[in-house]
Amino acid sequence: MAEIAVFTENLSKTYGWLLWKKKTPSLTDLNLSIPKGVVFGFLGPNGAGKTTTIRLLMDLIKPSAGTALILGKPTSDHDVKERVGFLPDCPAFQPYLTANEFLNICAKLLRVPSGERKKRIADVLETVNMTEHARSKLGGFSRGMTQRIGIAQAILNNPDLLILDEPLIGLDPLGRQELKNIILSQKRRGTNVFFSSHILSDVEKMADYVGILNRGKLLCYGTLDELLGDTGHKAKIRPGMDDMAKDLLSDATSSTKLADGGWELVFNSGAAIDQKLKSLKSAHPEAIDISSSKENLEDFFFRKIGITKQNDV
């Protein structure tokens, strides 16, 4: 258990307590075991139960059944909360406080030593590019600025576990890139990161482990390598080998002319094409590179939740 950052066993949540009202199961028998030192991306359509899971982990709501442990301790443990940073999906803070005052309150609650608070607050404000707004009232902040302050309060205590609920929402492209850099720098620090997102491409780039939730049930989780299957081959052809590329075009499912004049072709698996590529590689080892082509996360996601993706016309 010491090597597990987040552990859940049959974790379930059903909302509603009135006897005569229909109960809505929001989460059913969630079993997760996320190792330490990884970035975990939690995916699912709207209403899948991602935020419910995160609220259960943060002890904001009580489970109907099952258990959850974070960093090996129960979610209600105050000592473990000292080591966790949390960003809610729509962060809201006291509007009458300045950014400095709010972060100072958070620092006190997180038991940051008084001698270090000022420096820590200045550092996190600089990290999220909000130093110039330190003395401005939170009520006057835009959505993106509020999100940045939310990130600042989440990393204030140099957490061992960072839990982020839809962290990229509300950020402009620059802000999104900054947040991705923050997540990756936290990972390099050894922080475990658990985040939920709708933006599949970002999850694919940042996450080591991915879990997909739909209608309260975990459909799958594991590393991207484990989850994304091989769909065929990818061939990279050197510039100046247009004849070879033209020969292969009819078998390719997609082709891209690269900026340097070379070609990138994708093929489905098949005995004939496999043999053809093998022969070309033997004959012209320098001219062509062949690798396995993996399914992308978006296709995998839609396949798992049972929705047919409509290709753009």
Interface positions with other proteins (CB under 8 A): 15, 55, 58-62, 78-79, 81-82, 84, 86, 88, 90-94, 96-97, 101-102, 105-106, 108-111, 150, 153
Structure tokens at 72: 């090996």
125 or 235: CB nearest other proteins: 125
- E runs forming strands in the chain: 4-15, 24-35, 39-43, 65-70, 73-74, 84-87, 161-165, 192-197, 209-214, 217-223, 230-237, 254-257, 263-268, 288-294
**Smallest gap from residue 155 Cβ to other proteins (A):** 13
**Smallest gap from residue 108 Cβ to other proteins (A):** 4
**Smallest gap from residue 61 Cβ to other proteins (A):** 4
**Smallest gap from residue 186 Cβ to other proteins (A):** 17
Q: Name the strands in the sheet holding 39-43, side by side, starting at the edge strand that comes first in the sequence.
A: 84-87, 161-165, 192-197, 39-43, 209-214, 217-223
55 or 233: CB nearest other proteins: 55
5 or 241: CB nearest other proteins: 5
Q: Assess contact for 66 and 8: CB atoms under 8 A.
A: yes
Q: Assess contact for 121 and 155: CB atoms under 8 A.
A: no
Give residue 99's Cα distance to chain centre.
27
153 or 192: CB nearest other proteins: 153
**Smallest gap from residue 90 Cβ to other proteins (A):** 6
64 or 129: CB nearest other proteins: 64
